Chains A and B, each alone.
Chain A
């Protein structure tokens, strides 16, 4: 499973040869702008790379092209309105964005959602994880030139999106979590459909394992590329699958206290010792499968009961400060709410995973070849809405 010594040495010797050639030929550096409009960056991210031949000498990440001013917006909105808006931070796994905010607000109001609500929240959280990561698994293929897996991703993701639509009314932006519980209960027949959908997603994971992960060309393109040592990753604040692929066994679902139902389930945290792009892909594929198994367990053990605790009609959160964080599909996401009483918060700080994940890009891109820039960026997996908020 580890990167073969021969591959690693051949990559290093190729880079050394290029560096020697550069010194001998004294060629001029070229500035390549992987600009805001580019198929490789997932959205409007700009990377200014100084190239020497095909090697990157220095890379700068310029984000902010999609800044929508979320934290300022939250200062002039009420809690239900903010819940609607924050769905759109990481738009692929929107339910997962609502959860830490609601947990922080419930912390301040000292309200606890009933167990059925917590279990269904966990259910939707894992469903949004599946919706998000299945797209990554297909989309990394596109960045590397395999155009077929992404269509399978969209085809099989539809099952999950349809499930979310049946229960909440919205495919991408469910707006389902409420302080004290959830908006509605599950419609009839949903549990059976979800089990069927999870079976399909597992089939999709198997298909992608055959099509892409087992492919020798894919391995040659990703093994040994973009290696992040564990200590460097931790010092840059990486989270999620990025750090688990470097061997760090850290998952907030297991390691941080949370009222959601993860502790009740029997599941496994996947890590990989290599820290290269292949490891990040592998970890996410396993996590998707694990998420489907968790969904099955949640469906089997769903407690009955009310879906919403007693909260006043007009929500006024008492003064105080609260922090809540969860293991979102992209990494660790957290909200720090400062409240001074009132209908809306005084200030909300949003800690989004991708913003910290891409902080390692300048360090990581030094010395890599141009095609590998694409591999590394796509393996880090960021969503622009998450970076820029």
Chain B
């Protein structure tokens, strides 16, 4: 790869990319957590959020929380299955990490642009279900078990609308690779006006809505947060986790939120594409910035819905997925396919 005039072979390059992604996940979790969970939620609730830590508007709050979690005692319930209990957060974190591999941040900034990019991403995001089930079972706590069973049912049910909504984009872009989808949007034109390309949100607005709803459910956010229903099951499958294990769950949750927002931005808003610097080093510099802005926009939508609505009951949740979202996404696919063939 030629960038900054250094020629690197495969393994050093991969190590550097892996290191960058490993640094991005906590950073993403902290940024998303601070801006949306702490500050935006506070403003929507008519309060200021953290103001003291770090001096200016409490920017240090989450980092301080992270340090606090790391230095806490590692408590494992006596009845718990120790090995499974310990591995469960790592499984969820690994599935988050694997998501970052295909998301492109610039024309050359992607860890590995797979041909089956989006298919791989959706497949890998469902690995977290195993981690959640492990966590609930190994906790030896009835509330945790209830929470993880609800989570399993919900996550599996909402995988389908997620996949089907993406199929519409894939049909329109003719490729499953995420870089290819970005280029398809960049090269397209809206009725001949080609300045901002053709972001798929304009034609796939229904698919975008379905993807957001399904992503909300995948992240266990309100209105689909039955697994972590705070007022009922305390913290669902995470009840028995404290200290750095809870930190892993937290990072996995916000890391996945960041990754899913990035995928939504790439599929529907044009990803790293901006019309001013299409090639060269400036595209690689502006790419992550633009992608970051689009991610913040989508994360804003996700969290706005989270802080406003009460949660669905489990059966209502499943009804919503099976009887409403899936038929709607099938109709979306048919309409997209028809238009693709006709136009």
By a beta-carbon cutoff of 8 Å, the part of chain A in contact with chain B is: 14, 30, 32, 38-40, 54, 141-148, 151-152, 155, 211-212, 215, 217-218, 220-221, 369-374
Contact = CB atoms under 8 A, between A and B. Distances in A.
Nearest to B230: A39
17 contacts: A40-B232, A144-B310, A144-B311, A145-B311, A146-B222, A146-B308, A146-B309, A147-B45, A147-B307, A212-B310, A218-B310, A221-B311, A221-B313, A369-B313, A371-B313, A373-B232, A374-B231
**Which of A39, A147, A152 has the most C-beta atoms of chain B within 10 angstroms of its own C-beta?**
A147
Interface string B301-333: 000000111111111100000000000000000
Nearest to A375: B313
A81 to B, nearest CB: 38
Given A148-B44, A371-B314, 18 more contacts: A40-B231, A144-B310, A145-B222, A145-B225, A145-B310, A147-B222, A148-B308, A152-B45, A217-B223, A217-B311, A220-B312, A220-B316, A221-B310, A369-B314, A369-B315, A370-B232, A371-B226, A372-B313
A146 B232 CA distance: 13
Contacts of A141: 310
Interface of B: 41, 44-47, 142-143, 146, 222-223, 225-226, 229-232, 234, 307-316
A321 to B, nearest CB: 43
A255 to B, nearest CB: 35
A148 B307 CA distance: 6
Nearest to A11: B315
A34 to B, nearest CB: 8
A38 B230 CA distance: 10
Contacts of B226: 371
A76 B44 CA distance: 49
A103 B26 CA distance: 63
Contact of A155 (B46, B229, B234, B307): B46
A150 to B, nearest CB: 8
A215 B316 CA distance: 15
B315 A30 contact: no
A143 B230 CA distance: 8
B99 to A, nearest CB: 26
Contacts of B312: 217, 220-221
Contact of A215 (B46, B225, B229, B310): B310
Contacts of B308: 146, 148, 211
Contacts of B222: 145-147
A59 B315 CA distance: 22
B310 to A, nearest CB: 4
Please indicate which of the listed interface residues A145, A212, A221, A374 has the most CB atoms of chain B within 10 Å of its own CB. A145
A188 to B, nearest CB: 30
B232 A371 contact: yes
Nearest to A14: B315
B142 A32 contact: yes
Contacts of B41: 147
A382 to B, nearest CB: 16
A37 B3 CA distance: 58
A142 B229 CA distance: 10
B105 to A, nearest CB: 33
A151 B308 CA distance: 12
Contacts of B313: 220-221, 369, 371-372
Contacts of B146: 54, 370
Given A32-B142, A145-B222, A146-B222, A151 B46 contact: yes
A142 B222 CA distance: 12
Q: List the 4 shortest-distance A-B pairs measured between CB atoms, nearest first.
A: A145-B311, A151-B45, A144-B310, A146-B310
Nearest to A218: B310
A145 B231 contact: yes
Contacts of A155: 46-47
Contacts of B46: 151-152, 155
A217 B235 CA distance: 21
Pick from B223, B309, B315 the residue with the most CB of A within 10 Å: B309
A193 to B, nearest CB: 20
Contact of A145 (B47, B229, B234): B229
Contacts of B234: 38-39
Nearest to B312: A217
| Residue of B45, B230, B231, B311 with most partner-chain A CB within 10 A | B231
A217 B310 contact: yes
A38 B223 CA distance: 21
Contacts of B230: 39, 145
Contact of A143 (B143, B231, B307, B316): B231
